[in-house]
């Protein structure tokens, strides 16, 4: 079941990358490259930080097929997909939840300290989107708006606390993923934003 959910997360992130690439007028290959980068970038970064060589994403062909195939589908059908913007935001929030949870769990299983696992989980969740935005010359969305990073960190904390308390991993993962997705969607729905600094004089 976790694998199925992971593949959904990959498809969702791939769709967000592909849509952003279509908006930037990239050609079909650019769209596929950006779909792959957005969907797999977070996991690649996690594996490079943890020393997993070669990274899981590069040796698991279903991940590649789902990410690339999603990019192609978005390229051909993007007007429809664009109209589904709300669905994409919903799925994107679910993808964030799944990726943060999976990244934190992977780091814990490899024996990293708890706070390190939290950080690596957050990096896994946000890494793909950061790469997408940097390649398209945007300031990464996660830096600019909404309670994105905090939702991710909160969910990673739930995974770690469950691990420390010896709770079963399955239900804790589902709870953490739902928490991240829920907070993220609430922030979008209610237009929650964190404070920005008052205007700079200098």
Where on the chain is the footprint of its own copies (CB under 8 A)? 21-31, 33-34, 44, 48-51, 53-55, 58-59, 61, 64, 75, 78-79, 82-83, 85, 107, 112-113, 115-116, 119-120, 130, 134-140, 142-145, 147-150, 193-198, 200-202
In the complex, the smallest distance separating the C-beta of residue 1 from its own copies, rounded to whole angstroms, is 25
Could you give the C-alpha distances from 95 to 10, 38, 49, 167, 188, in angstroms and in order? 7, 11, 21, 23, 15
CA distance 154 to 148: 10
Closest to its own copies by CB, 24 or 185: 24
Distance separating alpha carbons of residues 137 and 134, to the nearest angstrom: 5
5 vs 126 by CB, closer to its own copies? 126
Q: CA-CA distance, 91 to 5, in Å (whole number)? A: 11
Residue 8 or 49: which CB sits closer to its own copies?
49
Nearest by Cα to 12 from 80, 61, 85, 77: 85
Q: What's the closest the beta carbon of residue 135 comes to its own copies, in angstroms?
A: 6
Q: Smallest gap, in angstroms, from Cβ of residue 201 to its own copies? A: 6
Considering the complex, state which of residue 100 and residue 130 has its C-beta at the smaller distance from its own copies.
130
Instruction: Using the minimum distance from each CB to its own copies, give the nearer residue, 57 or 172.
Output: 57
In the complex, least distance from residue 134 CB atom to its own copies, rounded to whole angstroms: 6
Find the shortest distance in angstroms from Cβ 174 to its own copies.
Answer: 25
**Token pair 């308390």 in the structure block, residue:** 165
Burial of 20 (0-12, 13-18, 19+ CB in 10 A): buried
Tokens of 96: 């964030």
């Amino acid at each position: 079941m976790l694998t199925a959910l992971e593949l959904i997360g990959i498809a969702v992130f791939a769709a967000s990358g592909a849509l952003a690439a279509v908006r930037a007028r990239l050609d079909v290959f650019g769209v596929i490259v950006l779909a792959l980068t957005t969907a797999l970038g977070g996991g690649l970064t996690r594996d490079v930080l943890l020393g997993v060589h070669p990274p899981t994403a590069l040796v698991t062909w279903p991940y590649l097929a789902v990410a690339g195939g999603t990019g192609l589908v978005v390229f051909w059908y993007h007007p429809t997909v664009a109209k589904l913007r709300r669905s994409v935001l919903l799925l994107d929030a679910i993808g964030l939840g799944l990726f943060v949870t999976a990244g934190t769990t992977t780091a814990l299983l490899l024996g990293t300290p708890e706070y390190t696992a939290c950080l690596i989980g957050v990096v896994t969740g946000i890494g793909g989107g950061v790469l997408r935005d940097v390649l398209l010359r945007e300031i990464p969305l996660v830096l600019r708006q909404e309670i994105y990073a905090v939702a991710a960190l909160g969910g990673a904390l739930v995974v770690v606390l469950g691990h420390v308390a010896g709770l079963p991993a399955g239900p804790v993962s589902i709870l953490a993923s739902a928490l991240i997705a829920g907070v993220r969607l609430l922030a979008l729905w209610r237009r929650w934003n964190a404070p920005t600094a008052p205007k700079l004089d200098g």
